[in-house]
Amino acid sequence: MNWVLALKNFTNDTVRQVQFFMLCRQLGIIFSSIVLAWILPVNEVGIIEMLMFAGYLMTFFWSDAVLRGYLSRRDLQDDKSYVTSFFMVYFLGSLVAMAILLLGQKILIPLFTTRPDLTGLELFALYQVLIVPLWISPFIGLLKGQNILLASLFVLIGPAFSCWTGFASLPGIEGVLLGLFCYALVGFIWVLTKTSFVA
């Protein structure tokens, strides 16, 4: 019965749930990296890693700061319309960041990677626009209880599965990125169903 009590306590502890989500997210990234190492040549794995690095540089510095600011305002975290607005700010912020990367790729890609260009940048940008809001959704309370457990399993299994199925459908970097985009799109639509578009 101790495990039943522990599970009940876990489902009522939002801090542990978010920590579990973050752990699953990191493990999911590791698993997808292993899958990529199996299915792609080393040079193409390197291109995927450089795409991820460029995306990280374009999104982390502002997304982390905005999230910390939100978490410091506990008085607004129970306001459903504010939570939805914050989610949309993340979506629009990601959209702007990726648009800047695409429009300035002739300058930014060589600056970030010392390469003149990166294969699949456009498809990766679409993936990044959708995945950043999904990653922050448990922090702002859009996914709670059973939903956050399902989301944790989604980010644990989804990346590796999408890389493999994408490659099986279309061998090469484009197939992998298409799989990741579909994974991010499913997650984004799911989170949208949990938002409350009210004034």
Q: How confident is the model at residue 79 (pLDDT cuts 50, 70, 90)?
A: low
Q: What are phi and psi of 79, to 5 degrees?
A: -85, 110
Sign, Cα dihedral of 89, 90, 91, 93: positive
**pLDDT (0 to 100) of residue 96:** 95
Maximum mean pLDDT: which of 139-143, 160-164, 188-192, 195-199: 160-164
Handedness of CA 88, 48, 148, 169 (dihedral sign): positive
The rounded Cα 121 to chain-centroid distance in angstroms is 16
pLDDT at 14: 73
Name the residue with tokens 């876990």: 10
User: What mean pLDDT, rounded, does the chain reach?
Assistant: 85
The pair of structure tokens assigned to 3 is 């495990």
Burial class of residue 184 (count of CB atoms within 10 Å of its CB; 0-12, 13-18, 19+): buried
Distances (CA, A) of 145 to 11, 79, 148, 180, 199: 5, 18, 6, 26, 25
CB atoms inside a 10 Å sphere around CB 8: 10
Amino acid at 164: W
pLDDT range class, residue 73, cuts 50, 70, 90: low
| Cβ(184)–Cβ(130) below 8 Å | yes
